[in-house]
Amino acid sequence: MSSPPTSDDDGGSRPDSDASSGSGSDSDPESRSLLPETRWQRDVILIFAMLFGIYALFALIGVALDFDTNGILNVLREITLFAAVYAMLVLALNLHWGYTGLFNIGVAGFMAVGVYTMAILTASPDATAPGFGLPLWVGIVGGMVMSALVGLVAALPALRLRADYLAIVTLGLSEIIRLTFQSMQFSNALEDTLGVATNGGSGMNFPGTRGVVQYAFYRGGDRTSEPTVLGDALFGLAESFDVLPLVVLGWGYNVVLGIGVIAFYVLLVRIANSPFGRVLKAIREDELVADSLGKNTNLFKIKVFMLGCALMGLAGILWQGQTGYTSPHEFRPELTFYVFIALIIGGAGSNTGSVIGGLVFGTLLFQGPLYVPRLLQEGLAVAGVELGTPPNTFYDAVLPLGSLDLLPMLAYATASTNVSYLRFVLLGVVLILVVQRRPEGLLGHRVETAAAVDLSNRSRSTATDGGNPESTSPVDEHDQESTGGHSARTADDGHGLSAVRDDRDSSATNGGHDE
Amino acid sequence: MSEQAAGSATETGDRTTTGDESTVVDSPPPLRVTDLEKHFGGITAVDGVSFDVHEGTLTGLIGPNGAGKSTAFDCITGVYTPDAGTVEFNGEDITGLEPFEICNRGLVRTFQIARELEKMTVLENLMLAPAGQRGESLWQSVTPIARRGVAAEERELRERVWETLEFFEIDHLAASYAGTLSGGQRKLLELSRALMTDPDVVLLDEPLAGVNPSLEKKLLERIHDLREEGYTFLLVEHDMDVIMTHCERVIVMHQGRKLAEGTPAEITSNERVIDAYLGGEV
Amino acid sequence: MCMSAIDTLGRGNTFVRTHPSLSLVFLVGFALGVDLVHGLYTGRIPLENVSRLFWNGLLVGLILGLAGIGLSMTYSILNFANFSHGDLITVGAFSGWSVTYLLAGAGVTEFGTRLLIDANLNVTVLGDPVAVVAGLVLASILTILIALVVDRLVYRPMRDSSGISLLIASIGVALVLRHLVAFVYRAHTRGVTGSERVDILPVLEGTGDVSVNTATLMIVAVALMIGVHLLVQRTKLGTAMRAMADNQDLALITGIPTERVVTWTWILGAGLTGAAGFLIVLERGTLDFNIGWGLLLLIFAAVILGGIGSIYGAIGGGLVIGLTQSLSTIWIPSDFATPAAFSLMILVLLFRPSGLFSGVTTA
Amino acid sequence: MALLEVSGLDAGYGDLQILEDVDLEVDEDEYVAIVGPNGAGKSTVMKSVFGLATYMGGRIAFDGEEIGELRPEAIIHRGLGYVPQDDNVFPSLSVEENLEMGAYILPEVPGDRLREVYDRFPILEARKTQTAGNLSGGQRQMLAMGRALMLDPALLMLDEPSAGLAPDLVEELFDRIDAVNDAGTAILMVEQNASEALRRCDRGYVLVQGRNRYVDTGESLLENEQVRQDFLGG
């Protein structure tokens, strides 16, 4: 029952403490004051706990690899980038798939539309791939609007297609989009008609959202000019720890991404905890029921598709805006699958799960394996073993296995490109295992009630009006819940994060779950 | 309709249809089906069926398996578009409208196999139903100030939902996922959810299938209570006992056509009906 | 769930009947046809171009059709869209050509480079017929083995899961297969059959240059298609497969050992897919680990066009997609050939989800 | 010993219990009908035998052997044929292929059985190359029966064979079922057309609300006023 992390919506009577409907807790509210009050607070703590745990892990990796402060900060900066970008993408996809049951596997395409629209709008008219040279915010808004419009085009088939057909349609659309941006002929046609270009497969440069940070840190947004007051202060502070300005700048951009994640999260939690989100869930569960209860499901699906696509476009803009360069190769269908893997790990249907899924995927699964070779080298070096140059081919690596010499194979497996292949193998295996063993992911089993207020907390005054003895209802409710909670817990033993389990223990609203 | 949904907490309690007594005799009945036809490929599922459902009544629609009852239901509620014939609701032609449009006019249905929204709680199931909720607008749900209004409306709805749950005595299940309910409880959930749309006429598709006797009694009592309050029911049911003891009027369908119509007593003594049920030639 | 799917389909069909968009699609096709005839007549479109494009499209279409049969079979019998199908093609291509290279270059170059298809051998059908045939056969067999292992480990434990869960699992399988191939063979694109296509068939001279490799592809593809046709239409096993595609539950209570039929479905489907992978390389001359993945969506397009579950549909759909991709370049820039094929697929899904040739749909 | 013995069967779907303590026996060569009002759980009895419903307790034995754990093909192999109510033919297969599928577990299609089925249902032979999807309702029912007869079962279970058929077809269908029974195959039939079924069967069970209410010869059940009441309600 996560509620929006803002307090204005439910006034003073926030009843979100799930435990409050259980017996006992009401009698002694003071004793709980030190514990997190509500589920969303606990969720935020969970997210940050995981983030810092992962930071600690990667910092340790950095230390093990003899990185200096700048090196470690750079490692953390990079994983933060991926964690944030995936968190945003997963949140957007969760709106489609987790909430509404729309099986959209064209995420990469919608991102590409957003990014390219932004790039074309903002790129300088004198660049190799000229653009309109419009201000940044025009580019961002334009990119989102265009993604939403392409989403509208995709939503029309979504109105009546089976899930697997919708998947193929969206994947096809995303490939059409990618191939279009890859086309030099398309770029030339643009140049002839509008005077702008995309430069086909070579990609294009554009100002990018990193400009925001540069403007904040340097006068005029130019790295060669004087720092601003903020820049001066931060650079000075950093210098005292021997941290380079470039690293500070990078972390500055992470702040932008962090704000992005928070904005996405707040928006989506609000949608989730609202009558609007309730209709979306109903569409996911059984569209005919939602229709028969008077909901214009087509309209809801169109809205959701457009909003989700706009968010995917924005996430893409923030991602590619970090380098200020984009190319069609970034938007292969694999990208969509990564987002799906992250969503399934986190738990489709849960926004907190989405953030955690993005976090776990972007850091541990996506970036983590890339550090394995160097850790291995370091480890072996400590043991006095030299890994040596990797063999050129798999065959050369296999041959020594005959004489029980594992090192060449290890060296081959940890050569940089090969590690990335093995990483994809790992991702595939993880996906299969999650789908087979724990399809609800880390948090997908939770009851996250779609309502703007706590439904279990009815006001006592009207309860008496209802003619029911006031006391029976809450007691019944508690009994029911504790049995439901118990069965769910036993079914679940040995899975998931302990934090999650704690959460469930204290949560009173658990009606069991679906395996 | 839409504004009412947000209305007072005691809505279900004191609701009476306007002018139950004063209705002019020739005013149209709430539901009038005329010459309804539906074909699937070469099979005629409903073959020219006409009937009226009168205000404030509990009307039964019966017939052997394959008589076309459920198809007729689906045609009335917009799941299927009938191939011929019209459906009028409160005097308005609603033939071929989408299910949501029909529901929003005050004609709601339940399903033969209870279609609870499994991974939504009982509370969510009921909260979903009321029409025209402010918070169903995307921007109202997400913008800070408008959201206060949404929350206020939600609090009001919540009371109504709890009352409905208490009325059907499933309030102890409020926080459970609908998918964990037993068959009979699902039927109660369906009915209570349908009522939350604030309908004039409720179409019940086999509401008692798979319901144990004590729950069946409870459900029927509730239906009677509601009828007293002015709701109109059309009930598809195969349990003849129920139809004969509880309905004022009975419509019998057989092989896609209307075989008979009348009071339970008339129907029980109708040889054609007996033959249809026992499988003789009609 | 099933009911609502049927309802949606039902409403979709009524929509098709009443909606004018479909007629518009046909109108456009008709107009293009007229334009083509007119262009040929006035000489605006050179006949030579058209025949070359047609020939190309036909070849691609045959490959898509051959590979599509397997996808169509698993789609209708196991009830899920197998996103790892493209990577089974890759597995077939690599394993088959490894065998061909081992045999063809015996004694010429090192074992390891031959195994990894890195030796620069100009393999042709006439030059090394035994190696090519052995490669083709082994491509099928090894692909079958991989498919059976995958079925055992991934899909069989999930037999009762929804088609969507299986689809997602197959995405995982796709990632695993493709990158294992990349791990073993590395990522570079290698020339396999050499750049020159010397063996022009003398008989066919004048009709465009038909290499022996191309001719082999056509003959083998057509032979395999006829073989599948006979197997599916004439044998008990084939009938059982069609029965299962029709109605899984009824097959079970009729006494058809469904698990065994599923195994045979994989064997047949993967065998054809592996062969298709091998043949594609014969035609293209190059090979890299993305070869199958790159074809997957086109194969889906072929299968959907033909109607899922119908092997003739897959073949016909393959030809339509191949020809669309190829002939569309008469009117649109060549960069948009593939998008045109995808667009056609999307249009078919929107307006005629049961396929152009109205195969059996299974939901 | 009875051919099929069901004792104390509890069954349903998911957590919804439909049948409660149902006992049922079919002897060799016997013709048994299960009748009862809609929703009484008649079809569930048959589905339980083939594991298509959720088993909740009780015993099902065929030919003296428990069959609860067996796969459907093994049950069929022991001589139990089953014709479900709907979707009981493979629509895209030809009529003959449908029949061949009935004998899938045999290495060869038994030619004599095929002959016998064709003799029994001449319409099937006349249409043997047509796809089953093009058959009429009555013909489909015969095809489904023919397919189940391909293994010469000791017991044939028919789930509402007359549902949705025109009255004249119903008569013909029942005649054919009689003939199958006369040829030595025991019949267990669930039927909504109670008067026709009870008139023809050796013994009838009346199932009401998931329980056995009456067991008797068909004739006496047909004359039982109580039974009529159960069908039409109190």
- The share of chain B scoring above pLDDT 70, in percent, equals 88
User: pLDDT band at residue A387, thresholds of 50, 70 and 90?
Assistant: confident
D35 pLDDT band, cuts 50/70/90, is confident
**Cα–Cα distance measured from residue A507 to residue A513, given in angstroms and rounded to the nearest whole number:** 14
Percent share of chain D, pLDDT over 70: 96
Confidence band, pLDDT 50/70/90 cuts, at residue A138? very high
D178 falls in which pLDDT band (50, 70, 90)? very high
Q: Could you give the 3-state DSSP secondary structure of residue C106?
A: coil
**pLDDT value of position A332:** 93
**All domains of chain D in start order, with CATH:** 4-231 (3.40.50.300)
The residue-averaged pLDDT of A391-402 equals: 86
Q: With 70 as the cut, is the pLDDT of residue B82 above it? A: yes
**Given a cut of 70, is residue A460 above it in pLDDT?**
no
Q: Describe the crossing of helices C163-185 and C291-306 by its angle, rounded to 10 degrees.
A: 150
Cα C296 to Cα C294: distance, rounded to the nearest angstrom: 6
| pLDDT tens string A309-348 | 999 999 999 999 988 999 999 999 999 999 999 999 999 8
pLDDT of residue D220: 84
What is the mean predicted confidence (pLDDT) over B60-79?
Answer: 86
* CA-closest candidate to residue A284, choices A99, A440, A159: A99
**Which of D75, D82, D92, D114 has the highest number of chain C CBs within 10 A, making it the mutation to test binding with C?**
D92
Residue-level pLDDT at A447: 78
CA distance linking residue B234 with residue D8, whole number of Å: 37
In C, minimum Cα distance to A175 occurs at: C339
pTM, 2 dp: 0.86
Identify the pLDDT of residue B8: 39
- Among A256-260, A347-351, A399-403, the minimum mean pLDDT is found in A399-403
**Chain D and chain A touch, per 3+ beta carbon pairs within 8 A:** no
**pLDDT band with cut points at 50, 70 and 90 for residue D94:** very high
Annotation: CATH topology of B29-114+201-209+220-276: Rossmann fold (3.40.50)
Query: A 20-49 residues with CB below 8 A of B?
Result: 21
Q: Indicate whether A134 belongs to any domain.
A: yes
Which chains are adjacent to chain A, needing at least 3 Cβ pairs under 8 Å?
B, C
Query: The tokens of D56 are what?
Result: 């909740």
Kindly report the nearest CA distance between residue C35 and chain A, in angstroms: 23
pLDDT value of position A464: 38
Written as one string, the DSSP assignment of A421-439 is HHHHHHHHHHHHHHHHH-T
Quick check: A292 and B117 in contact, CB under 8 A? no
Query: What pLDDT score was predicted for residue A226?
Result: 83
Total number of domains constituting chain A: 1
Is the residue at A409 inside a domain? no
Please check whether the domain covering C31-37+45-351 is classified as CATH 1.10.3470: yes
CA distance B174 to B126: 9
Residues of D within 8 A of C243 (CB-CB) are 90, 93, 97, 101
Whether A260 maps to a domain, the answer reads yes
Contact with chain A for residue C173, Cβ under 8 A: yes
Mean pLDDT across chain A, nearest whole number? Answer: 81
ipTM of this predicted structure:
0.86
Q: Residue A360: give the domain boundaries.
A: 4-10+33-375+418-437
Q: What is the pLDDT of residue D83?
A: 92
Indicate if the pLDDT at residue A187 is higher than 80: yes
Q: What is the pLDDT of residue C120?
A: 78
Q: Which carries the bigger pLDDT value, residue A492 or residue C339?
A: C339
Res C216: pLDDT: 84
Taking CA atoms, what residue in C is nearest to B96?
Answer: C11
Any chain C CB within 8 A of the CB of A461? no
Selected for mutation to probe chain B from A269, A285, A509 (highest B CB count within 10 Å) is A285
User: What SS3 class is residue A95?
Assistant: helix
pLDDT of residue A294: 92
Per-residue model confidence (pLDDT) at position C209:
62
| Chain B interface disruption, residue of C1, C2, C3, most B CBs within 10 A | C3
Q: C198 — contact with chain A (CB < 8 Å)?
A: no
Burial of C26 (0-12, 13-18, 19+ CB in 10 A): exposed
Centre a 10 Å sphere on the Cβ of residue C363 and count the other Cβ atoms it contains. 14
Question: What percent helix, strand, coil does chain B show, rounded to 5?
Answer: 40, 20, 35
* pLDDT category of residue A249 using cuts at 50, 70 and 90: confident
Phi, psi of B260 (to 5 degrees): -160, 160
C165 in contact with A, Cβ within 8 Å: yes
Strand partners, B202: B108, B233
Residue C174 is predicted with a pLDDT of: 96
Torsion angle defined by CA atoms of residues C280, C286, C291 and C294, in that order, rounded to the nearest 10 degrees: -90
Express each pLDDT in A58-73 by its tens digit: 999 999 888 888 999 9
- Residue pair A347/A353 in contact (Cβ under 8 Å)? The answer is yes
The answer to whether residue A405 scores a pLDDT higher than 70 is yes
If you measure CA to CA, which chain D residue comes closest to C237?
D104
Which residue ranges of chain C lie beneath pLDDT 70? 1-23, 194-210, 357-363
A267 lies within 8 A of chain B by CB? yes
Pick from A14-18, B85-89, B151-155, B268-272: least confident: A14-18
Whether A16 has a pLDDT exceeding 60, the answer reads: no
Share of chain A above pLDDT 70, in %: 81
| Residues β-bridged to residue B261 | B251
Q: Looking at residue A53, which CATH number applies to its domain?
A: 1.10.3470
Task: Kindly state the average pLDDT of the residues B186-205.
Answer: 90
- SS3 string, D196-221, reads HHHHHCCEEEEEECCEEEEEEEHHHH
Please, which pLDDT band fits residue D1 given cuts at 50, 70 and 90? low
Share the mean pLDDT of chain B.
82
Residues of C in contact with D92 (CB under 8 A): 242, 245-246, 360
What are the residue boundaries of the structural domains of chain B, listed by start? Answer: 29-114+201-209+220-276
A162 contacts in chain C (CB < 8 Å):
5, 8-9, 353, 363
Cβ of residue A366 closer than 8 Å to a chain C Cβ: no
pLDDT for position B44:
82
- Residue A289 pLDDT greater than 70, yes or no: yes
Out of C243, C252, C253, name the one closest to residue D93 (CB). C243
DSSP string of A99-168, one letter each residue: IT------HHHHHHHHHHHHHHHHS-TTSSS------HHHHHHHHHHHHHHHHHHHHHHHTT--HHHHHH
Q: Which of C81, C112, C154 is facing A432, going by the closest CB pair?
A: C154
pLDDT band of residue A462 (cuts 50, 70, 90) is: very low
> Cβ–Cβ of D16/B64 closer than 8 Å?
no
How many angstroms separate the CA atoms of D7 and D30, rounded?
18
Question: For the sheet containing B84-89, what is the strand order?
Answer: B43-53, B31-40, B84-89, B92-93
pLDDT at B15 over 70: no
Q: Do the beta carbons of residue B56 and residue B233 sit within 8 Å?
A: no
Q: What are the tens digits of pLDDT across the range A435-445?
A: 999 988 888 77
